[in-house]
Structures are given as C-alpha cells and as structure tokens.
Homo-oligomer: A and B are copies of this chain.
Amino acid sequence: MTTIKDVAQRAGVSVTTVSRVINDSGYVGETARERVTKAMEELNFQPSRLARGLVSGKTSTIGLLIPDVANPFFADVARGIEDAAIAKGYTTILCNSDWKREREVMYLDILRSRWADGVIIAGSRSGEEVIDQATAGLPLVLVDRRGSAKRSSVWMDNERGGRLATSHLINIGCRRIVHISGPEGSPSAYGRKLGFEGVISENRARYEGLRGELIQGDFRYEGGHEIGLSLLRSKDRPDGIFAANDLMAVGILQAARFCGIEVPDELAIVGYDNIALSEYSFPSLTTIAQPGYAMGRSAFQLLLNQLGSGRNHHSEQQEFEPKLILRGSTARKQQAGT
C-alpha cells in the first residue's frame, strides 16, 4: 500500500501539502502541485478512506438493509439506491436480512461498527422501537412504511393498493376471494391486507354471497405455490385470489396450471409490485405497480438530505401512488356488472 508519506517523499514536499493537493484545499504553489500530481500518478496512489474516515468521522458509506436481493422488487430498489449513491460518491453495503428480525439487528450493529453514514431499510418486519434502538442515532430512511413525522420514509399507500386489487376482483365477478398476505410484521403486507378487508366488508351488503378469506403467506414463490395447491384442490375453491406480491401470485398461477384450472375464467389472480416477471408470465399478471427503482433513488435522496442537514433532523416523507395494471390474469370474456 502506498501512502501519502511515500507521495510526499517522492515529490519532496510535506504530507500536509500532498493532502492539500488531494483535497484541493488551502494554498499550494504551482510547482509543488505539479510534482505532487506527478508523484501520485507514478505511484498509482489512492488515499485510504479508512484513515480519512477515522479523522473526519464520515465514511461516505451507506448500508442497504433488505430482505433479499434475489427478490426482483428489492433488486430494483437496490439498483436505484446504488446508482444514486455512487453518483454522489457514496458506497453501498449490501445486507440481506432474509426477513429475519434478528438478522436486521445484527446487520445494524455491523453497520454502526463500520461507521456507515446512514442506512436505508426496506421491507423490514421490525417495529419502530426496535429499529430506533438498533440504529441509535444513525441517519435512516425507511422505504416501506409511512414513518412517524420525525423520520424520513418512502412509501406507498398499500391500503389503497389493496383496495384497488380487491375491488377489481369484485368488479369482474369474483365472489369467493382469498387474500394471501405477506409475512407477519411487514407494514406493506399489513396495509394490503387492510385494504382487502375493508373492501370486502363494504361490499358484503351489495353482493350477497361475497366472501373474503385470509391466508398468511411469506412473500416467496414457493410459499405461493404450496398455498395455491392446497387452496385449489379443496372443494370450496376460490374464484379470485389477491396475492400480496407478484412472486406468490406467479406461484399460484403455476399451481392453477398444475390443477388444470383456467385462469382467468375459473380463477382470477391479482398480484402486487409489477416486477418484470408479472409481464412475462402466462397469462400475464394483473398487478399493482410499485416503482422499485424510483423508490430506491428517492430513498437515497432523502438520506442525503438528512446527512447534509447536520444535527437538525431534516426529515421528509415521499409517497408513491399505487396503480392497477390490467393484464391477462383477470381479463375475463364477460365481466359482471358493477
């Protein structure tokens, strides 16, 4: 490792001068600057960010805590964040919590020990107190929930999304609807469930025989597949399913194909997220769009605003609108009247 001292020696100046050249601060003479620049190039010198971080207290590093990069939605979020971060000179540490609370806490400890300047947490199942405790003063942006006013967050109105999805199923004539929810504790899953329940109970008077059922899922493809199989093999099978994310919805789609059930005519399916997969499945999946990449970019921007503003806890909320994307999995030949 070549250090600033080597550069100083080679250029025949002091380390102070080299530092000034690197940071373009203070006064440096023309000749000195040239010699330092030359020496840096010759030695292929890169100042150590460790040392720099130690003295400045800033590491230009952020932590990204998500359940799973292999989940396309979070991969999009991650990409959005990393792109925005590197553009501002920040480096991103990747942390996959695998939906486990204890892993979240573990990663947060690691991030603190590495002096991350801030953290973005997406898809956490932990409560706010736990997060508060574990982040302990670390600047923070949450991406899946409406945080309290004192915290920055990027979120969607998941309840509205859940309402859109459920209403749509009712509109096309479904009367026995099942909602496969997300893991317990996930605020987005909770919102979607609320929306579902709300619409079902509001419409029960209007459409007699309308029934809504709830099954707890895990946001994973395999989980959706299994639940789909057991659900579709029962006598009293549903004619509409709203899955809390696309991955599970696609799992159900496969289960339906396996059971020889026609989608959308015998069974209509709505997902959530609008990941690429939902467009290319067969039939293509009606879903609620959630712009992962844009939400990621936005989350980093909020974090940056917080970092810039020093002590005075500049906190902001950014909301994204859920949007119903109509595709094959609910495109019935004849629709029931509204």
Contact = CB atoms under 8 A, between A and B. Distances in A.
Q: Which of A54, A113, A221 has the most B CB atoms < 10 Å from its CB?
A: A113
A64 B82 CA distance: 13
A1 B78 CA distance: 28
Contacts of A288: none
A280 B113 CA distance: 42
B281 A113 contact: no
A72 to B, nearest CB: 7
B59 A69 contact: no
B64 A54 contact: no
B54 A82 contact: no
A112 B43 CA distance: 14
Nearest to A81: B94
B78 A94 contact: yes
Task: Work out how many copies of this chain go into the complex.
Answer: 2
A338 interface: no
Contacts of A190: none
How many A residues touch the partner, as a band? 35 or more
Nearest to A284: B282
A50 B94 contact: no
Nearest to A292: B70
Contact of A75 (B57, B59, B75): B75
A109 B46 contact: yes
A79 interface: yes
Contacts of A113: 46-49
Interface in A28-42: none
6 contacts: A48-B113, A48-B115, A91-B114, A277-B280, A281-B281, A282-B282
Interface of A: 1, 44, 46-51, 53-54, 57, 59, 64, 68-70, 72, 75-76, 78-79, 82-83, 86, 91-96, 109-110, 112-115, 136, 221, 250, 253-254, 276-277, 279-283, 293
In the A-B complex, the 3 residue pairs with the closest CB atoms: A282-B282, A46-B113, A94-B94
Given A69-B75, A70-B78, A281-B282, 17 more contacts: A46-B113, A48-B54, A48-B113, A49-B114, A49-B115, A50-B53, A50-B54, A51-B54, A68-B79, A69-B69, A69-B82, A70-B76, A72-B72, A82-B96, A93-B93, A280-B282, A281-B281
